[in-house]
Structure 1
Amino acid sequence: MEVLLRNMKVNQKGTVIRINCEGEVCRRIRDIGISVGAEVFVTGRAPLYDPVALKVNDTVVTLRNSEADNIYVEVKG
């Protein structure tokens, strides 16, 4: 099932299947290691659900929801 990264639940895993962005937002996403084919695991969320914390390539990173809205993930399980 394809979902936006923003809509994933805590403790969900998935594989990035598409990234729709341009410019600085896209550069930031690439710089933190998120690319098509990357495995992501949502480790937590802030109390107001922004930002989202995820594990990518054994590194925990955070993304604002506005950034996570550019990333489509195939959810596992």
Structure 2
Amino acid sequence: MNHYPYVYSAIAAIVTLVLIGVPFIVFAVGFYVRVVRAKVFLHQNDLESLERGAYTNTAFLSVPSTTTTTSLADITEDR
């Protein structure tokens, strides 16, 4: 006569959960790591393109326009 009839079923349930759960957890962690790496890579590319755009935009902004300088020169020469 078996005094612990539920022990074997409990062990079988734990083994089944481990066999199903561990690969799922490993897959989920691997997928999460891939997503985070992809986001970091895209974020770095976005920052680089923004920096390049900022450099080119400030280069054009730092050049004085010819219409402003000529109009100021014309005003001062007329007086």
Q: Per the shorter chain, which TM-score range?
A: under 0.3
Q: Which has the higher contact order (CA 8 A, sep 6+)?
A: 1
Give the structure with the higher percent strand.
1
Q: TM-score, normalised by structure 1?
A: 0.18
- Structure with bigger gyration radius: 2
Q: TM-score, normalised by structure 2?
A: 0.17
Give the structure with the higher percent helix.
2
